[in-house]
Amino acid sequence: MRRVITGVALALFAACGHAQPWPAKPINIVVPFGAGGNTDAIARLTAIHLTKALNTPVVVENKPGAAGLVAARQVLAAPADGYTLFMASATQMVTAPFVSASYNFDPVKEFAPVVNIGANAFVITTKASLPVKNLSELVALAKAQPGKLTYGSGGTGSLTHLSAYMFTRRAEIDMMHIPYKGGAPAMTDLLGGVIDMYSASPSEVIPQLAGGKIRPLAVSSGARLKDLPNVPTIAETYPGHEVSTWNGLLAKAGTPAEVLDRIAAEVVKMKHDPAMVQKLEEAGVVPQFTTRVAFGAQIQREVATWGKVLKNSGISVD
């Protein structure tokens, strides 16, 4: 009888432990790029919001490298319990698997979409000393010096790389690609005149304009950006050209649905906070807050679209 009572007590104790409400400990948001870039900025805004909403510390951890593979593997190595989240971009979920053999897993199957926070276009930006003042002059200079002009990116296979790659193909110009471990070092070298061009996120460009060391030439969105109203779209010169990316939270597949729903519900509340929305827009982000099912469908569509482009591109990380 004593053994039976002890067994029942242990079972009840274990049941109580499993019934512990989520969250019961700090949450990590893993960012696949270094501090200072667009993805990092969105992650930190989200962490501030979730810390207050969940009354639990939410910490941002930067894990750059291999087009986001380092960060992705860290999230996948953690338990599927919602305490380790992935602030991914379209690079990790959509494009990198097509250009890196190291992605020996299917991100669409291994991750569970939670919420797409927002989208942003890219800004074709040159160092100020480059003798061009618009997109046509850049194309003309590149054609006069094939292979000599350089452009940086946040890593081979990243959307900052592919947005520039798509532009060079559309404009029929040859430029040398210089990959970095994230957008921040690429912008640093653009400011220093080390590289000629960078297809940057608006949040990277706008704060640097006052310094006069860079020159935005065109944006990759379908319409001009509110914070860069005098910068034309690439489509104004090359009709139909439009490239953008997104940043959204994902979790390891197998995370309980109720946890995913709770995170999504709290993040979506950001759109009702004018201060948060303003900060996102100042970073060049178009708020979306698309949640689980629609976000997953979006990823599937983009995989199909980019797959057609990249399979024959010759771009490879390895």
Q: In this prediction, what percent of the chain has a pLDDT beyond 90?
A: 68
Give the pLDDT band (50/70/90) at residue 158.
Answer: confident
Q: Label the pairing between strands 176-179 and 150-153.
A: parallel
Residue 3 reports pLDDT greater than 70: no
Q: Label the pairing between strands 150-153 and 197-200.
A: parallel
What confidence tens digit (pLDDT) does each residue in 226-257 have? 889 999 999 999 999 989 889 999 999 999 99
Give the pLDDT confidence score for residue 1 in this predicted structure. Answer: 46
What confidence tens digit (pLDDT) does each residue in 274-291 have? 999 998 887 778 899 999
Q: What is the mean pLDDT of the chain?
A: 90
In terms of phi and psi (left: phi > 0; alpha: psi -120 to 50; beta: otherwise), the region of 238 is beta
Residue 268 reports pLDDT greater than 50: yes
- Domain architecture of the chain: domains with CATH: 25-120+245-310 (3.40.190.150), 123-236 (3.40.190.10)
Buried b (16+ CB within 10 A) or exposed e, 234-272: bbebbeebbbbbbbbbbbbeebeeebbebbbebbeebee
Give the pLDDT confidence score for residue 155 in this predicted structure. Answer: 82
CA dihedral sign, ordered 147, 157, 132, 36: negative
What confidence tens digit (pLDDT) does each residue in 27-44 have? 999 999 888 878 898 999
Whether the CB-CB separation of 179 and 150 falls below 8 Å is answered with: no
Go through the chain and tell me how many residues it has: 318
Give the pLDDT confidence score for residue 86 in this predicted structure. Answer: 98
